[in-house]
Each structure stands twice: as structure tokens, then as C-alpha cells.
């Protein structure tokens, strides 16, 4: 263990099932991407453990679904407070296993906790309706009820926030959960479970199984007791999970891949656009689903914008170990992630893209890729057609509004899109024409707990966060009261 914590008991390495911490012989090594050192060895779940977790969640559902919204809200608020009270330790665990810089890790803890606070409040607003009746001998009402046991499968890029964004609405709605965090980053999830236990969330309401997706995934998707699957990850895996969930007709929420365009029109404030792009592109070393993937720049400002961006990247970004003072950009999650970026850059350069800065693996180590700007990119190069998940900005020139909208929409996915302009009519026109679930207008960072997060097309289905986020965890029941005199 090479993490310094104020509370070492937050570093949990066992499975969490039915309120019990369970040690298992088969371990998973969690390594620090910044230096390949071993952070911890974590017990892995078998098929039987996963079935036990589902059984525990089913049993706990009987009482949890009967608690009042006020009771659930109070427990969620306690959990929120404990997380914020341990923000520094949780951030240290997150940086050690994921690599993001410590300031971003602290930001993620607060971001993740904000979903718990938000849904603690929303729990009290799960309202039904009284609907005008078609005849006077009856009355129509609707109530909302928890879906049941929910399986949550979460990725390594936001090991804390992607989990809280699912568990919080599930618990607020009265559901119980079985969670499978990514194998690269289970420690943040286990620390969250420890704090949930301390908050008094009853045994079986939250269960956490760590281990091989090939063992745990099929058990979760095949179970008829699991009534919903919420997944964040790649479109490819999302499609497989959808197929598996079809057999038991589960409700599903899918937050899948993106290929975000970032459009800079000729009337944009270029300095503001550079600031927005730096945040949107290089956050978490480019490893978010909403990170800018393609930068479309009007040809009249292409040269001046590229120069400003290159200067900002070279002056403001420092690559290194996320715990080192002054470092802004950490390593990628593993060598495999780096090879994908290397391959995309090489193939695009072979087709004519130019490296304006960066463009190679750093001497700091195998997992560090230099913050990069590519110019002379076209929309059909691999760096534009594929999701990069790395710190590479690919600049594509355009001539007209219609041309850039067509290019931006020319992809199977539709998660987030951004554009900069000073023209109010264009703001409406472009916002409406972009085929994306989320649009940033003169803003590079748009995620927060109050707004609906989610995509269209192959970026998935359902929304997380906001007043809409609870609906994914609720069933609407219609009650017709007839025979009235």
C-alpha cells in the first residue's frame, strides 16, 4: 500500500455482500498507472458470490422499498456528509488507482457526492397523479414504485461519480443494488460502501462485487430478480449487455460512448473558446465520454485559433504523477489505452494530419501520452471517426454552418456537443440541429447533478442526474377505481 490516508480503514479490499466484508482467495491486483506500483490486492467474486449479492439485494428490497422517502433521504444525506468529510482520503485512493490529478480527484468526490445530496432531496418528490376520468363512476390515479433490484456496472474513468450517479437515484426510489465497479478501480467503490455502512444504510441495500466481467456480468443479466441494469461504458459492451438483458426484459439505462464535436464559429470569442476547449478536451487526460473528440474551426480563424490553442497547451499543461504539485495531466489508465491513442495519431498523420505539439508517448513512462494538438485533420481520419479517450485535440477546418452541422452529425453516436458563437439565432438553430443529448453553448464543462446527463443514437438511453434521473428507477402504475356512485 503506497497511499497515505488519515483513515486507513477506508482502504477496503474485500467484497461487500449483505453488509458483510468477505475475503476471497482469488485476488485482483490494483496498480497505480503513474508508476505501475501495486496499490492493493482485492478479493474477487465468483458466480456464487454474485448470486448471493442478488439474493441479499432481493431480501433487503422487501423492507427498503417500504421505508418512507424521508427515511431514505436522511440516510442518503448522512452518506453524503461522510463522503465530503473524507474527501481528501477518497481523492487519494482515486488518484492512486486511476491516475487523475489530485485536484480533479477531489473534484470528482464532490461531483459524485452531489448526486447523493441531489437524490436525497428528490426522493421526497416522487409524486403520482390524479387524471381526469372518462366517466364519473371511476377515478384514475398513478403511483410510482421502485423498479426492484438494480445491477450497476461502472467504468474506471470516474470510479466514484459514475457509481454514486446510479446508486443514489436507485436508493432514493426505494430500489436496492448490486454493483460491479471496473476491475482497474475497485477501491473507490469499496470505500464508498464502507461509508454507506457507517451512514447506517441497511445490510443488503448496497452490495459490491469485484472481479471478472465475464463471470459477474452474465449472472447479473440472466437473473430475473434483477429488474434493471444501469451501465456506463463503451457502446460495444453496452450492445452485448442489451442483448443479454433481452431474455428477462429488464429495464436498462445505457450511458455509452461519444464523439463530441466542439465547433468554433467565426464570430466566437477565441480566448473563451480556447479556455472551454482546454477544459473539455484535456479533463481527466481526455478520458471522459463527453470529452471533445473533434474540433471544428471556421477556416477564417483556423490559423489564429490553432496558434492560441498550441500556446495554451504548451504553457498550461504539465504531464506527470497526479500527486505531484503543479501537474495538470496524469497518465492514461494503462498501456493498452496509450497504444490506442498512438495508433489513431499515427494512422491520421499517415493520411495527412500534422502534429502541432505533442504527438508521442512521454519519457515519463509507458502510460503517459503528451498533450497533443493535430491540425489539417479531416472528418474521415481515424482520430475523428473513433473515440480517442486521450489528450489529443484534432482540428478540422469548415466553411459553412450547414457543412459543420452535417460533419458533426456524421457519426453513429450522440452524447455531448459544444459550440462557440456570439449569434443568438445561430445558438438556437445549431442547438436544435445537432443530434446530441447534451449541448454546451459557449461552455466546455456541462456536467452537474441538476442537469440530465445522457445521449441519443448509439450513445445510449436514459438520463442520469436531474429531476428526470429518478424515472429510470421507477415504474409507473395506473390504478383505476371504478364502481363509484
Interface residue list for ligand SIN (CB under 6 A):
157-158, 232, 255, 288-290, 447
Identify each DSSP E strand in 44-194 by its residue range.
Answer: 129-131, 139-146, 149-153, 176-180
Provide the minimum distance between the beta carbon of 293 and ligand SIN in the complex, in angstroms, as a whole number.
Answer: 12
Catalytic residue among 289, 291, 449, 458: 289
User: How many angstroms separate the CA atoms of 150 and 57, rounded?
Assistant: 9
Provide the minimum distance between the beta carbon of 258 and ligand SIN in the complex, in angstroms, as a whole number.
Answer: 8
Is 325 marked active-site? no
End-to-end CA distance of the chain: 72
Provide the minimum distance between the beta carbon of 290 and ligand SIN in the complex, in angstroms, as a whole number.
Answer: 5
| CB-CB contact of 372 with 391 (8 Å) | yes
User: How many angstroms separate the CA atoms of 125 and 172, rounded?
Assistant: 10
| Closest listed residue to residue 168, CA positions, set 468, 415, 473, 477 | 473
Provide the minimum distance between the beta carbon of 154 and ligand SIN in the complex, in angstroms, as a whole number.
Answer: 9
In the bound state with ligand SIN, the residue whose beta carbon lies nearer, of 144 and 166, is 166
User: How many angstroms separate the CA atoms of 414 and 131, rounded?
Assistant: 35
CB atoms within 10 A of CB 211: 24
| CB-CB contact of 287 with 389 (8 Å) | yes
Is 152 marked active-site? no
Position of minimal CB gap to ligand SIN: 447
In the bound state with ligand SIN, the residue whose beta carbon lies nearer, of 163 and 345, is 163
| CB-CB contact of 327 with 333 (8 Å) | no
Per the listing, cell 474485500 goes with 14
Catalytic residue among 104, 255, 387, 449: 255
Per the listing, cell 466484508 goes with 21
Provide the minimum distance between the beta carbon of 101 and ligand SIN in the complex, in angstroms, as a whole number.
Answer: 16
Instruction: Supply the residues annotated as catalytic.
Output: 255, 289
Amino acid at each position: 500500500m503506497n497511499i497515505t490516508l488519515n483513515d486507513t480503514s477506508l482502504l477496503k479490499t474485500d467484497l461487500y455482500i449483505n453488509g458483510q466484508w468477505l475475503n476471497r482467495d482469488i485476488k485482483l491486483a490494483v496498480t497505480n498507472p503513474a508508476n505501475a506500483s501495486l496499490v492493493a490486492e482485492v478479493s474477487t467474486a465468483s458466480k456464487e458470490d454474485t448470486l448471493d449479492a442478488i439474493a441479499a439485494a432481493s431480501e433487503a428490497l422487501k423492507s427498503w422499498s417500504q421505508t418512507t422517502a424521508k427515511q431514505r433521504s436522511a440516510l442518503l444525506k448522512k452518506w453524503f456528509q461522510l463522503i465530503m468529510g473524507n474527501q481528501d482520503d477518497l481523492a487519494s485512493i482515486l488518484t492512486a488507482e486511476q491516475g487523475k490529478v489530485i485536484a480533479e480527484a477531489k473534484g470528482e468526490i464532490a461531483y459524485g457526492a452531489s448526486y447523493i445530496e441531489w437524490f436525497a432531496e428528490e426522493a421526497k418528490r416522487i409524486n403520482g397523479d390524479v387524471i381526469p376520468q372518462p366517466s364519473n363512476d371511476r377515478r384514475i390515479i398513478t403511483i410510482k414504485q421502485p423498479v426492484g433490484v438494480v445491477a450497476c456496472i461502472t467504468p474506471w474513468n470516474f470510479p466514484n461519480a459514475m457509481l454514486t450517479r446510479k446508486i443514489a437515484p436507485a436508493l432514493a426510489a426505494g430500489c436496492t443494488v448490486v454493483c460491479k465497479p471496473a476491475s482497474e478501480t475497485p477501491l473507490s467503490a469499496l470505500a464508498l460502501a464502507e461509508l454507506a455502512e457507517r451512514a447506517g444504510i441497511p445490510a443488503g441495500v448496497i452490495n459490491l462485487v469485484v472481479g471478472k466481467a465475464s463471470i459477474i456480468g452474465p449472472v447479473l443479466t440472466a437473473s430475473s430478480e434483477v429488474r434493471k441494469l444501469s451501465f456506463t461504458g463503451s457502446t460495444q459492451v453496452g450492445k452485448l449487455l442489451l442483448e443479454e438483458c433481452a431474455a428477462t426484459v429488464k429495464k436498462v439505462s445505457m450511458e455509452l460512448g461519444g464523439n463530441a464535436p466542439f465547433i468554433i464559429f467565426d464570430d466566437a470569442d477565441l480566448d473563451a473558446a480556447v479556455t472551454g476547449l482546454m477544459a473539455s478536451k484535456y479533463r481527466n487526460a481526455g478520458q471522459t465520454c463527453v470529452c471533445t473528440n473533434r474540433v471544428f474551426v471556421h477556416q477564417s480563424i483556423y490559423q489564429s485559433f490553432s496558434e492560441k490553442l498550441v500556446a495554451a497547451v504548451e504553457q498550461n499543461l504539465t504531464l506527470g504523477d497526479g500527486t505531484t504539485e503543479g501537474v495538470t495531466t496524469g497518465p492514461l489508465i494503462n498501456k493498452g489505452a496509450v497504444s490506442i491513442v498512438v495508433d489513431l495519431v499515427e494512422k491520421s498523420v499517415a493520411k495527412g494530419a500534422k502534429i502541432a505539439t505533442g504527438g508521442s508517448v512521454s519519457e515519463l513512462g509507458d502510460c503517459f501520452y503528451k498533450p497533443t494538438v493535430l491540425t489539417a485533420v479531416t472528418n474521415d481520419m481515424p482520430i475523428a471517426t473513433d473515440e480517442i479517450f486521450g489528450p489529443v485535440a484534432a482540428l478540422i477546418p469548415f466553411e459553412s454552418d450547414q457543412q459543420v452541422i452535417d460533419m458533426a452529425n456524421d457519426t453513429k453516436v450522440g452524447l455531448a456537443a459544444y459550440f462557440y458563437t456570439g449569434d443568438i439565432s445561430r445558438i438556437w438553430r445549431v442547438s436544435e440541429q445537432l443530434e446530441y443529448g447534451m449541448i454546451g453553448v459557449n461552455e466546455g464543462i456541462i456536467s452537474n447533478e441538476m442537469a440530465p446527463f445522457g445521449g441519443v443514437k448509439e450513445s445510449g438511453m436514459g438520463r442520469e442526474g436531474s429531476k428526470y434521473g429518478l424515472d429510470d428507477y421507477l415504474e409507473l402504475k395506473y390504478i383505476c377505481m371504478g364502481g363509484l356512485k
